[in-house]
Structure 1
């Protein structure tokens, strides 16, 4: 029995050294997980999404400017799907999906509408913006999106009001997303949390899997060390005397 407890002590010592080594490897990432997790939990997600920056004006469809119904649009543009009639600051439009292309169609004459000009995009953004900053700049992204914009929205105008940015689809004339500094910090926290430092989307990457496995091993070894630490000493002494 004495040999058993001596063996157990050797095992515990090895486990303690392994626990410390794992803690050294994963400790910084554990701190990052706690900080980033707290930020993401404490922040209101509607605020992060920038809903407070935009109030889409309520507009009724100008019936007098709608000369074509959805069936007529479908006939003019065969093989189209998801045909939607909507109102913009530039008047009523249809948007539809044709193959892999999103099209904007005039509800007045059924013509294919061109991409928004800078002036049109700024008019739409200024009409929707509810923040406190003045207009600062406008940038058109056609081929490559900035890191804060999904490529699926291209082409899009970035309309900047101070540090706030509204992205207006150059195709559909809609505000497709909003960005501000708290969102940008949230995005950094999310990147650090899931350990995807490029796309910031893959939660199944090998680096996160490795770090999670090490953190689990550290937790299990730590629980065992706590158990061993609080085993009644009398029981150990009794075992040594047998």
Structure 2
């Protein structure tokens, strides 16, 4: 074995020992990502079909007239919520405000009972919410608009829907499958705290070491196949007896 092959062998062996567990995590998580349909991970298949309900200009104009005395906003969005027209007023600074255009009443912050109605209407089937809690801080499971209501369903998948308190919008759908996916994602990108940063120094160093290990393996490959020994024998045969 040549000196280069001996050095490559030692580098490959020790880096393989050092990186074995993380490489296992990369392959296991990568296999899971390839198998699990992303639509099911996001619970999109459990979202009830809700064709958009048209709102006439007259209804929208009358509703906006009812809230004409409200504080101004930089953007006004008119949509339906539980089959009734609403307006979301978003100021440049501060929290958005949601209004019922039928009554002119401000809905936000959305109360828990209304959030449960929104979540149950969004969920496929006729399941009723099992538990409701208010989320005020971001976590690995939920990083969208805050505060938000977390509405849990006993549907066999530990599904939880998040409804933003300011907008009344379902901002996230979580399940056991999503949580497994997220856990494996944290192992894959080596961000064990927030599960979202794939530029961590730990990942960069680990990937660089894995690359060195692969290159060392490629250098070692001809020697392990006996190619180098075959070349030496062939060279001796050509030179003949001394």
Q: Give TM-score, length-normalised by structure 1.
A: 0.83
1:110 CA displacement: 5.1
Select the residue among 121, 131, 134 that pairs with 1:137: 131
Contact 1:105/1:113, CA 8 A, preserved across alignment: yes
After superposition, give the CA deviation of every residue in 1:60-116 in whole Å (9 maximum; x if it has no partner).
Answer: 2454753447799799654513x2111001721112331243232332465543311
Unaligned runs of 5+ in 1: 1-7
Contact 1:93/1:107, CA 8 A, preserved across alignment: yes
> For the aligned residues, what is the CA RMSD?
2.9
After TM superposition, the structure 1 = structure 2 runs for residues 196-235 of structure 1, keeping only pairs within 5 Å, are 196-230=191-225, 231-235=227-231
Contact 1:96/1:103, CA 8 A, preserved across alignment: yes
> Residues of 1 paired with 2:230 and 2:28: CA distance?
42
Helix, strand or coil at the partner of 1:153: coil
Give aligned pairs, total: 232
After TM superposition, the structure 1 = structure 2 runs for residues 141-220 of structure 1, keeping only pairs within 5 Å, are 141=135, 143-150=136-143, 152-162=144-154, 163-220=158-215
Helix, strand or coil at the partner of 2:191: coil
Helix, strand or coil at the partner of 2:167: coil
Helix, strand or coil at the partner of 1:173: coil
Contact 2:73/2:89, CA 8 A, preserved across alignment: no
Corresponding residue of 2:17: 24
1:10 aligns with 2:13: no
1:235 CA displacement: 2.5
Corresponding residue of 1:33: 26
Corresponding residue of 1:3: none
> Residues of 2 paired with 1:31 and 1:56: CA distance?
40
> Residues of 2 paired with 1:72 and 1:145: CA distance?
35
After TM superposition, the structure 1 = structure 2 runs for residues 48-67 of structure 1, keeping only pairs within 5 Å, are 48-58=41-51, 60-61=53-54, 63=56, 66-67=60-61
Corresponding residue of 1:128: 122
